[in-house]
Structure 1
């Protein structure tokens, strides 16, 4: 084939003669398009013909176009002077589109053909020279030089030929009477009309003309117009009047009676129109179609009873009506698109055809502007659907994109095609916890593997990108790895206590939980969980003062002159629990019939509740119960020895039963006791001296003395504990004095 290339617009044009054998070479399409070798194979090249007919085929391996089926130009294009068909070559990865036009060249394969092989005519002998007689035109399906070129008539004794060019481009032929006819000499004439085309070699067609010479009828009908023009819309219904032709005849009676006929009408004309023989009305009898034929040429003959005729040409123009909706064909479509596709990504290519012409065939395509897509045109009648913005599957996971094609007719016709597009997921969202911080509460002494709390993170992605796993970030707690205390279920996010907790050792655990998805690469986020250990009443109160030790003497002295409310001593106790579990209350166990002392319920202070009488014993032993407020409560007991007396001798005489005789055989013990006695003696001498002076001066004033069995260590008070009203230093001083006095008396 002959190549005409326009690569800038993507168009390739070939010219081949008709009737080529199947498999004949048309063109090297790969080379002519300037494609890389093997591109037709790797791009899965294919042909697309909007009309559906495929006259050529694509040989990808050889990169050639070859004839697929026999092409008859006359069948394909009829009498059109230029015959061609077009198709597109589509390649993928990436998508490319090229238009190929193949022009079919005519060969002289058709001879001129007359409608009939024999033509009978009647001509009056009165016909004068110059009378015209229309003959049936021959038809040659070829075009150009191969079409009908001329006529010849034999013999030429009476008639000559004259060829006329018709307004539609065809040729009509007439016989012109040169010499008058004489029926008496010759009633019948036999002529041969030959049609010749311009091919090489030439082809001819013939028709026999048998002329019967009639008696005189010296006036022929005459049409008022040599050419009639009319137009009719293609949607005209059957019975529509197109035009009326009219001829006149000067003869009278039968020779002046005119009838009208279609002269040499084709089958197509007879299917679409009919003429009333009496009135000359041309009426629509078939379905007109502008897309098949835009102009119909009809030769109308007027004939009188004497056989005289006249003819006229009727040109009927078919007007286009918008009776064809646009036709859309989806040539390529990607039904799934990743959400991270860049704007401008082509998702579909669509071909649109409208068989109408002018504005009726001018099509515009559009899509919903609210969607993140746009539609653009590349080649004529081809549209591409592209992304117009960034996509987000988490907002919209699929789209129904309706492409609407509307022509320019009035009213316009339209068609639509819906593309169902799914957006595939990309891991672009990290898991998100419901809260940034969580507080969980755990009662101490919990069982191992106890479920403490549950965290939850949501991931807006899909599939593996949304599958969340949970981890605890490793850290240390009290010198041990956090994992030895706390664990988490990676799938459910449930946090477990690995071991029992003790509130008195650990009160708060802070940990960071990481939620990570299964994407590639994975995304994660963190949350802080505070596990607050709650106290249980698992510790009994501890008495810090007075100190209870075996073999020692603790005695608090109360003068007989003590007023009501006199502070004897204060019991100091603590509870290492917290809250209500550490709220302590004090009470005396089995008070006497006439109790002299009472203890403060909240502060542990032992005070007198009446005046001391002579009947009150010098020595009194009080047992106190210290109880916390837990459920169930825990308690401790403490013994307090009280001496009701005004002097040390009186105290010592009454407390002799409190001493404990022991044999100290060990030398070290003996020397320790001896050393203590010496120190005590020196201290007592100093104290007696000071007391003597004080007693002399404040004999009638209140005196406060406190004694203890051993020299106590200063007790530990919790930070929040309020100190008792009697200072620690007073306790130490009084305890040491009493202790020394007792030992001195015993040694004496």
Structure 2
């Protein structure tokens, strides 16, 4: 990179030449030299600036940069211009090879010595050429290498921490120093081991890092008085360098341990004639603390007045001496509480039992040495229930005792060494039969007379899980109304368990077997705590009428015991379905018409309404009512059978087309109903019936044709400029199509079968009738009528699609024959 600089560089060069030529005539020098130098600087000064980057610690003579090439100067110019380096620093780290135009390392460069922690680190120098004068700046940036490892100022860090220091206390550690910069500087610390201390690292605002250790577990000097840790500092170089320092932690003692007697209980015996100052026993206690905290003083606590004037303890040695006269007949046994106390006030306790020896004037003493007061019911024979000590303060035969049970029980007494007895089981136990025993122990000596003593103990038989839960019933029956709400309770199942405690705690579970092809849990759930059976979903009687499920009762023993019960759930029907009319069929595309002759008698069977209800019981009991009719006085509906019959004689005044609305209603609460429409034609002749049937079926066709012609009219108006032509062509086409339709009509066909005018018992006015098939088009002038043989049908079905619902004989498609038949009619 090259750039122009100001003329002050030339003046600076001029001043340097003046300083180097002090012996020259200043007057003449100033006169000529100043002139030429000033003129030279103004006209010929050219400067440039280049920058190189090298790592530190490069060997002498290594290449730094090609100055001639980077400044655009050839070697001849460097030689002729006597190129040289101008360095402000006293130490020259690089030199210029004028013959090659290269900058090379002259002396070892230590970045840390040159710049310290400053970053970036660079060296500035100038290249000066003469004739003409040229001045170039060169900057050499020194990059850091990881040539230093982190170093701690001390070889060992010593910490003194009291064992009573709370967890979470923080201790600051010495910081490691690394003269490198950037990633090569100190990056992290690590600590080993971390059993008692954890390491925390922090960064100061200037970017330096330091470490602390945090106490994470309680120190115990008595277990470990010293801890040796190793703190490691690691930089981020590649490869990384590290430095370590030992951290020596000394645990200072705290008075956290009380004195402990060597025995939890001391026993001693002394003859009643023993002399004063006789040492009875020496007790001792130790304190785990050290130094002053480990001193122990002994004393009696809670000593009775009877023993206070008989015994004394040495506070420093623990010796217990007799200081009074013993009376065996008054007191045979002394129980003294011992206390050991350190200077910090911590204490330890023990007991001293002193027996006074005498003749056979005392009864045996029964002591329950080991007795829990309970035994498990499945304990085998020979299981030890209690360890019993029987003592007689007498000696010899007077001190020999026997122990027995006063009553019969599944227990026995067996002797053990040193006047101990064991109470053991002698027969199987059953807590469910007898849950506890009151046992009387009898101890007697062999003196004369024999003395004895009794002791009653209470023994509780603990339960084991040896009984499974039992349901009150092996099978349960319940019901639920359909359309129930999810979550409704059906039944409360109860099971009992004669065991006790956790073994009698019963939980209920639904056995997830398949019910009607689905898991039982999709239909029911059972409360694990109280055994209440719930319905999970809504049931539909019409889909499922009954369920068989299994419920398990399981106790809380280990291992648990269980038993099962079967639950039969029946779904009760609700009136949730309306009646469905099967006949007459109601559809939007067809009309069913019943033909009633005007000569029909009273009670003539017109038709029968057939309906069903998918519900059951009284919800499916159907009744029929006439809701509305063209003439309500003409027809009636059977309440139970749905038969429509005439109530009176048909007259000429009655309309040919009769419409009846029949309501079918079930007997549910609330009841549901369905309505069916019945069309009845009152006619004696075929044309009259045909006309009325046309009214039934072709209203919609008439409206559709009317809409079609209106659309055609609107289209014709839109094309007025061709109106005449369209009319002529339309008339021609219309006439041609009419002639074709007369012979081959595919339009809807209305089959018509005149009735026999007969009722359900076969009576009527006409015994023989003829059937006619009428082929009707939208234009009634173009129709075909075909003659058929006699039939006996009273039902006419006219479909809007033109299809026939009743069987007929083979048609004749001959146009001429159909036309002749029409003329003959």
Q: TM-score, normalised by structure 1?
A: 0.45
Q: TM-score, normalised by structure 2?
A: 0.41
